[in-house]
Structure 1
């Protein structure tokens, strides 16, 4: 893997994203994909995310309640190292979900990520407030809804312009187990799924610890998950927030 500093520079000052190949075993990707589809088709699916019939997409939250595979992926060492290189080693988890593009799904709509879209602006490129990770649980192809991005658009520090995005956007294709890591200000969208199979990805938003999570129930996980949670997972869930603040005060010379 390239030096973390070079990857971080590419995400902040370069293209705005990196494609990290083969971070996950194809078997794990297939298992996570099958599990996400199983949850989406279950009677309890409405609790975790209804299907948007207008665009043919489904958003499944609460993944930490649905298998240890999801616990492992949110703590993947390479992903954590890059995200912490941008956000610090006390970053927290803002959102974690599966995005399913059913057959004939259309674009979601070009956007920047939370917390930027919830802010009035003007935006600042650094320090980054959020890093997004898109795990490919299957091959992303030209036909099945691969992610669209406008390279270097994060440098505009602005809300997306649809006409400019249409001119500049490229599709990021890749293999099952690859991951896209991007700055929260990068303009991006889903593309249309022209195939007969659902396209499934995992979306992870890591943020500065002082940013309120987009998913207000991100730390609402089963007791069994908390019992086996690593220190890193507890930190990501915001359960070590008080300790982190105490360290900040100590470093600032207030104690």
Structure 2
């Protein structure tokens, strides 16, 4: 892992191959297809315009996988990934020990005709001294030059400007790979999904891990079913930031990081999960 970590720190990204079996990838793709079919019609309006990153009209997307199956935790807390995150997301914090957590959980499959994404960053601030957020892209299908593989610009995690809208960069590269690998990159790195000109599946699990003080994409304290929470280990609860909820008031506690995870508010998915075994 040392070589992989050094590559990440120098170039802003690294591809870890062969972490999942073919059977693993098939299982996770099946879960995603089921969830997309069951929940996508009920998604809130993103208020996007055609061509923006929020436009999901030519892709399948599933959100908040933690509240649909415990199986995903195999990937959320994969030891090879955690080893890298323990370096990248603790550097520069007090004694290199302050926590990070999984603050974004989704999956994406661009469809035939998807034109690819605008180059962008996911950290919110370009060119900061330390890595604030790390993206982990699990390849659940082969990533090829024709089905929407990820484009990125090595070294751009250190740049202090944003990518120019609608432009390619001359140093842009395409990350292709076999299913079962994980592409890990600094969220400051300029990146974007490529166009898909095929009818083939190209599912990717998209995980964002961030330093503890950065807001999540969704509120896990309000969208985690009780039966899912009850199955989580202490470490899994911390990984999702249940100990990072701010105190309600000064009479509850004084520190923003709690010693123990807090229980989420009651929540049920809008539709009953497809099958009981997924609990």
TM-score (normalised: structure 2): 0.76
- Equivalent-residue separation in structure 2 for 1:167 and 1:95 (angstroms): 30
Matched, 1:8 2:8: no
- Equivalent-residue separation in structure 2 for 1:21 and 1:34 (angstroms): 21
Alignment check: 8 A CA contact 2:25 2:180 kept: yes
Aligned residue number for residue 139 of structure 1:
142
* Coordinate RMSD, CA, aligned: 2.5
1:245 to 257, 260, 267: 257
Alignment of 1:81-230 (within 5 A): 81-88=83-90, 90-114=99-123, 116=124, 119=125, 123-124=127-128, 126-161=129-164, 165-217=168-220, 220-230=223-233
- Equivalent-residue separation in structure 1 for 2:221 and 2:88 (angstroms): 21
Structure with the greater relative contact order (CA < 8 A, sep ≥ 6): 1 or 2?
1
Q: Which moved more, 1:233-242 or 1:145-154?
A: 233-242
Distance 1:93 1:179, change over 3 A: same
Aligned residue number for residue 26 of structure 1:
22
5+ unaligned residues in a row in structure 1: which ranges? Answer: 248-255
Q: Which moved more, 1:180-189 or 1:149-158?
A: 149-158
5+ unaligned residues in a row in structure 2: which ranges? Answer: 47-53, 91-96, 246-254, 260-279
Alignment check: 8 A CA contact 1:49 1:61 kept: no
- Equivalent-residue separation in structure 1 for 2:236 and 2:42 (angstroms): 23
Distance 1:218 1:28, change over 3 A: farther
Matched, 1:45 2:40: yes
- Equivalent-residue separation in structure 2 for 1:30 and 1:239 (angstroms): 30
The DSSP-based 3-state class of the residue aligned with 2:18 is: coil
Alignment check: 8 A CA contact 2:28 2:140 kept: yes
Per-residue deviation, 1:161:
3.1
Name whichever structure is richer in helix by fraction: 1
- Equivalent-residue separation in structure 2 for 1:23 and 1:49 (angstroms): 34
Alignment check: 8 A CA contact 2:220 2:240 kept: no
Per-residue deviation, 1:162:
5.1
**Structure 1, residues 6-46: CA drift from partner, whole Å, max 9, x if none?**
4334323x22100000111221111111211221122x223
Alignment check: 8 A CA contact 1:50 1:59 kept: no
Alignment check: 8 A CA contact 1:21 1:177 kept: yes
Per-residue deviation, 1:79:
0.8
- Equivalent-residue separation in structure 1 for 2:191 and 2:221 (angstroms): 24
Distance 1:9 1:190, change over 3 A: same
Per-residue deviation, 1:85:
1.4
Alignment check: 8 A CA contact 1:150 1:165 kept: no
Alignment check: 8 A CA contact 1:165 1:187 kept: no
Per-residue deviation, 1:154:
1.0
Distance 1:219 1:201, change over 3 A: farther
